[in-house]
Amino acid sequence: MFRKLLSLDEAKEKISRRFKPKPLGVEQIPLLDANRRVLAEQIVSPIDVPPFNRSTVDGYAVKAEDTFGADEANPARLRLRGAINVGELPNIKLEKGETAEIATGAPLPKGADAVVMMENTEKQGGTVLVYRSVVENENVMKAGADIKKDEVVFTPGKRLTWKDIGVIAALGVKTVKVYRKPRVAVISTGTEIVAPGNRLPPGKIYDINGYTLSASVAECGATPLNMGVVSDDYQQLSETLREALETTDAVITSGGVSVGPRDFIPRILESLGGHELVVHGIAIKPGKPTTVALINGKPVFALPGHPTSALLTFHLLVRPFLAKLSGISGVEKTFKTVKACVGVRMFPAKGRRTFVTVKLVREADGRNVAYPATTGESGAITTLAKADGFIEIPENQQFIDAGEEATVHLFEV
Amino acid sequence: MFRKLLSLDEAKEKISRRFKPKPLGVEQIPLLDANRRVLAEQIVSPIDVPPFNRSTVDGYAVKAEDTFGADEANPARLRLRGAINVGELPNIKLEKGETAEIATGAPLPKGADAVVMMENTEKQGGTVLVYRSVVENENVMKAGADIKKDEVVFTPGKRLTWKDIGVIAALGVKTVKVYRKPRVAVISTGTEIVAPGNRLPPGKIYDINGYTLSASVAECGATPLNMGVVSDDYQQLSETLREALETTDAVITSGGVSVGPRDFIPRILESLGGHELVVHGIAIKPGKPTTVALINGKPVFALPGHPTSALLTFHLLVRPFLAKLSGISGVEKTFKTVKACVGVRMFPAKGRRTFVTVKLVREADGRNVAYPATTGESGAITTLAKADGFIEIPENQQFIDAGEEATVHLFEV
């Protein structure tokens, strides 16, 4: 039974045509809890930031023109009207020839348009000598110079960083609307897979994918629900899938998709009501048997059981999908990339787009060099654990030669 | 009142001499929850990984010597003894001239020492023709080839990544001991500071530091407790500090440390029982007034109120401290760094080690260029929000010239 495999681009296109992942609703949360959450509203500044013309130094507020021509030999002499501290509304209005002491961050008094730094002045009783001229707005941050009232500061779809949190706080905003985090079920299957914590019968291995995929889901900003290992018992797997589809927004399985009598995930998916098999095999290496279905509108990503394959297909297909479901805009920029020299010649598999997991090494000369992190399909988890990302080799390329520069897509979110 | 300021190195040395931050106790948690937590135990593998000699391909298990000399013209003819699936303990023992079908990941049967790939064979009834010779261990991953039984896989102090979680799962380990997360109080002070969510009186500005520092504490893997804005009322601030010291493992304040009548954090710290003022001013720019005290053995980091200064001193002093308190080993490697060309000439402040917050820009020619993210002390939050990290200029250096390469310490944890 042969079928023409979809190319990766065709698979992606088909998935995005069939699923239109939309954010899952909005919740209002304290700004303090909004780090790494995805903004669901436009943030428009209700105020000027700073809210007033503020001094950026300790010194004397002046009318700039009163200082013109002042120098060490010919200081300007200004009458001291008082002092303005931070947090105070100045009740002074400077007239020509007058000055007021002012602290860093304090509002300029009326009539002042510049500040002379303390070190360029000398106080003599009620008079301040100014030894250096200043121009208008010197040492002053104007009201709204940073953010203007009614300025759009952030738009929906921005995943907030700790720095953005500071910007929103500066506007006086205390709560923000964010998109609900997607809940994602993670199910491991396979005759040979045993959940950690259990005795390991001969011939079996412990589940890795359930753990790496759950942690990766969390890194993407979604909430993983690890449903453990389901042996490839048709009935049990079918029930677990039903339960997962009822309680979560998307389901990831690993294992059970290769061609083989026990690899029956595609058959189970077909047996569930309201199914549509969107992708059944992709011309990529690794990850060829990857299967994607839509069950009553909810996606099931059935990834291969090999840890490297599961991880790569997660990053290629599931991660951008989760980003869209999380409401993140600009999903195409989901991957951080770095340029690196390739450490050894890398070949693509014939007719399949090939992904080589690589470890980045900084050489003594400062170059980033990417070395393959897994040798063939050996599935060594310790080498996979050293992988920083992957290099993509197009179907039609003969090889990437040692020393050539390539783009490394990082696993890091 | 002049005092000789400590250099940054002296300040760090004094802090690490006076505080010996130790991890705060151990808790046992599910491995599924251990992503980004700090390991508090040695992980020793209880098993070989893989636990058995496993086939890395679909094919036929053989005695390698039975295939020697085999080629397209002269295939080896082996008697088919049966098939071995993944997850099964083979009950076959191969004798000379025998073979068994084997799936990827399945255990080799006794007597077999190599696997011939399916595509190099042909099945004819009970006989398998092998068209290509294999050497011992070809297409086989030996038991323990990845991780050996009793091998030390991780040592205490490792901050676990999602990849490490996969490695530990592969050992069959389901729960791990991790260090308790430090709880860190964050208090903002200053006459001019108003908490977001409140009306902004004239002359005041909204709190930024409480938000950026809380989020930064969380990014470092600790638990922030934002105690809000305390106006610089001596009594209230003193009470809030006492409460913070009782309920958390470390306290960060911002504001109230410059020289000025209302900058009384140092005085309050001195008034609290069991105090020791460890650092009172550091010869750095920005961040000069930074004050560090020990109150009954607990540290208070009193950072300047200017957002750039607060952020920089957090990263210079608090972040490495929190890493130690979290039990992370190799704290000196806390910062991720990148090399970048400097975009404009950067000068240090006279006699002070200077830190320039920078934004990294990738130029068309692929170079990373670092541009200053804040101009002077303007305190524009939007420009600070664009900063990726900082460049350090030593006290004795005249400048870093435009085009020179420098190390950028990233804020990213």
Question: Hey, what's the torsion of the CAs at B133, B135, B139, B141, to 10 degrees?
Answer: 160
Place of tokens 């200064």: B309
Q: Would you call A125 an interface residue with chain B, using a CB distance cutoff of 8 Å?
A: no
Choose among A374, A214, A61, A102: nearest CA to B30: A214
Q: Would you call A219 an interface residue with chain B, using a CB distance cutoff of 8 Å?
A: yes
Instruction: Give the model confidence (pLDDT) of B44-68 as tens digits.
Output: 999 999 999 999 999 999 999 999 9
Q: What percentage of chain B reaches a pLDDT higher than 90?
A: 77
pLDDT above 80: residue B311: yes
pLDDT above 80: residue A155: yes
Residue type at position A234: Y
Instruction: Give the model confidence (pLDDT) of A172-196 as tens digits.
Output: 999 999 999 999 999 999 889 999 9
Choose among A264, A246, A271: nearest CA to A185: A246
Q: Would you call B211 an interface residue with chain A, using a CB distance cutoff of 8 Å?
A: yes
Q: Quick one: pLDDT band at residue A369, thresholds 50, 70, 90?
A: very high
Q: Would you call B106 an interface residue with chain A, using a CB distance cutoff of 8 Å?
A: yes
Place of tokens 């208090």: B187
What pLDDT score does B260 carry? 62
Does the beta-carbon distance from A385 to B226 stay under 8 Å?
A: no
pLDDT above 60: residue B2: no
Q: Could you give the 3-state DSSP secondary structure of residue B374?
A: coil
Taking CA atoms, what residue in B is nearest to A224?
A: B32
Distance in angstroms (rounded) separating the CA atoms of residues B79 and B96? 9
Residue ranges with strand state E in B110-156: 114-117, 121-124, 127-130, 140-141, 152-154
Q: What percentage of chain B reaches a pLDDT higher than 70?
A: 96
Pairing of strands A250-254, A298-303: parallel
pLDDT above 90: residue A262: no
Write the residue in B56, B212, B376 that is nearest to A377 by C-beta: B56
Does the beta-carbon distance from B169 to A207 stay under 8 Å?
A: yes
Distance in angstroms (rounded) separating the CA atoms of residues A193 and A229? 7
Choose among A348, A349, A353: nearest CA to A284: A353
Does the beta-carbon distance from A215 to B57 stay under 8 Å?
A: no
pLDDT above 70: residue A29: yes
List, as ranges, residues 326-385 from B with C-beta within 8 Å of A.
Answer: 339, 366, 376-385
Does the beta-carbon distance from B49 to A381 stay under 8 Å?
A: yes
Q: Would you call B194 an interface residue with chain A, using a CB distance cutoff of 8 Å?
A: yes
Q: Would you call A29 an interface residue with chain B, using a CB distance cutoff of 8 Å?
A: no
Mean pLDDT for B149-173 is: 96
Distance in angstroms (rounded) separating the CA atoms of residues A333 and A409? 11
The backbone torsions φ and ψ at residue A382, rounded to the nearest 5 degrees and listed phi first, read -70, -35
Cα four-point dihedral sign B80, B85, B90, B96: positive
What pLDDT score does A25 carry? 94
Mean pLDDT for A224-245 is: 92
pLDDT above 90: residue B377: no
- The encoded tokens of residue A307 equal 């840890």
CB proximity list for B360: less than 8 A, separation 6 or greater: B338, B340, B368, B369, B370, B388, B389, B408
All residues of chain A having their beta carbon less than 8 Å from the beta carbon of residue B226 are 32
Write the residue in A172, A191, A219 that is nearest to B85 by C-beta: A191
- Contact between B78 and B128 (Cβ < 8 Å): yes
Domains of chain A and any CATH numbers: 8-24+181-333 (3.40.980.10), 27-49+145-179 (3.90.105.10), 54-139 (2.170.190.11), 337-410 (2.40.340.10)
Does the beta-carbon distance from B206 to A170 stay under 8 Å?
A: yes
What pLDDT score does A331 carry? 72
All residues of chain A having their beta carbon less than 8 Å from the beta carbon of residue B412 are none
Q: Quick one: pLDDT band at residue B375, thresholds 50, 70, 90?
A: low
Q: Would you call A30 an interface residue with chain B, using a CB distance cutoff of 8 Å?
A: no
Does the beta-carbon distance from A163 to B212 stay under 8 Å?
A: yes
Chain B closest-CA separation from residue A273 CA (Å): 30
Q: Would you call A208 an interface residue with chain B, using a CB distance cutoff of 8 Å?
A: yes
Does the beta-carbon distance from A191 to B384 stay under 8 Å?
A: no
pLDDT above 90: residue B335: no
Q: Quick one: pLDDT band at residue B259, thresholds 50, 70, 90?
A: low
pLDDT above 60: residue B364: yes
Pairing of strands B26-30, B140-141: unpaired
Interface test with B, best of A146, A206, A252, A388 (most B CBs within 10 A): A206
Does the beta-carbon distance from B32 to A379 stay under 8 Å?
A: no
Does the beta-carbon distance from B172 to A164 stay under 8 Å?
A: no
Instruction: Give the model confidence (pLDDT) of A98-119 as tens digits.
Output: 999 999 889 999 999 999 999 9
Distance in angstroms (rounded) separating the CA atoms of residues A343 and A351? 23
- State the DSSP string of A291-319: EEEEETTEEEEEE-SSHHHHHHHIIIIIH
Does the beta-carbon distance from A52 to B219 stay under 8 Å?
A: no
Angle between the N-to-C axes of helices B162-170 and A209-219, in degrees from 0 to 180, rounded to the nearest 10: 170
Does the beta-carbon distance from A196 to B31 stay under 8 Å?
A: yes
Instruction: Give the model confidence (pLDDT) of B205-256 as tens digits.
Output: 999 999 999 999 999 999 999 999 998 788 999 999 999 999 999 999 999 8
Choose among B105, B72, B77: nearest CA to B90: B105
What is the number of CB-based contacts under 8 A between chain A and chain B?
A: 249
Mean pLDDT for A198-218 is: 96
What pLDDT score does B1 carry? 42
Distance in angstroms (rounded) separating the CA atoms of residues B294 and B20? 11
- Contact between B14 and B68 (Cβ < 8 Å): no
Q: Quick one: pLDDT band at residue A366, thresholds 50, 70, 90?
A: confident
Name the residue with higher pLDDT: A348 or B113: B113
Q: What percentage of chain A reaches a pLDDT higher than 90?
A: 76
Does the beta-carbon distance from A382 to B219 stay under 8 Å?
A: no
Q: Would you call B82 an interface residue with chain A, using a CB distance cutoff of 8 Å?
A: no
Q: Quick one: pLDDT band at residue A285, thresholds 50, 70, 90?
A: very high
* ipTM value: 0.92
Residue ranges with strand state E in B94-155: 98-102, 114-117, 121-124, 127-130, 140-141, 152-154
Q: Would you call A175 an interface residue with chain B, using a CB distance cutoff of 8 Å?
A: yes
Characterise A270 by phi-psi region: left (phi > 0), alpha (psi -120 to 50), beta (else): alpha
Pairing of strands A193-194, A205-206: parallel
Say what the pTM is. 0.92
Write the residue in A107, A146, A260 that is nearest to B381 by C-beta: A146
Choose among A147, A120, A148, A2: nearest CA to A62: A120
Distance in angstroms (rounded) separating the CA atoms of residues B225 and A368? 40
What pLDDT score does A215 carry? 97
Q: Among the listed ranges A57-61, A286-290, A366-370, B351-355, which one has the minimum average pLDDT value? A: A366-370
Chain A closest-CA separation from residue B18 CA (Å): 30
Q: Would you call B141 an interface residue with chain A, using a CB distance cutoff of 8 Å?
A: yes
What pLDDT score does B282 carry? 95
- Contact between B252 and B187 (Cβ < 8 Å): yes
Distances (CA, A) of A34 to A158, A215, B188, B344: 11, 20, 19, 35
Q: Would you call B165 an interface residue with chain A, using a CB distance cutoff of 8 Å?
A: yes
Does the beta-carbon distance from B51 to A195 stay under 8 Å?
A: no
Distances (CA, A) of B230 to A170, A191, B190, B268: 17, 61, 7, 13
Nearest-Å Rg of the Cα atoms of chain B is: 31
Chain B closest-CA separation from residue A174 CA (Å): 5
Tell me which DSSP letter residue A31 carries. Answer: G
The backbone torsions φ and ψ at residue B334, rounded to the nearest 5 degrees and listed phi first, read -60, -35
- Which strands sit side by side in the sheet containing A76-84, from one edge to the other? A114-117, A59-62, A98-102, A76-84, A127-130, A121-124
Q: Would you call B205 an interface residue with chain A, using a CB distance cutoff of 8 Å?
A: yes
What pLDDT score does A49 carry? 95
Taking CA atoms, what residue in A is nearest to B53?
A: A203
All residues of chain A having their beta carbon less than 8 Å from the beta carbon of residue B195 are 174
- Contact between A305 and A313 (Cβ < 8 Å): no
All residues of chain B having their beta carbon less than 8 Å from the beta carbon of residue A210 are 169
Does the beta-carbon distance from A170 to B381 stay under 8 Å?
A: yes
Instruction: Give the model confidence (pLDDT) of B398-408 as tens digits.
Output: 999 999 999 99
- The encoded tokens of residue B144 equal 């323990």
Does the beta-carbon distance from A385 to B339 stay under 8 Å?
A: no
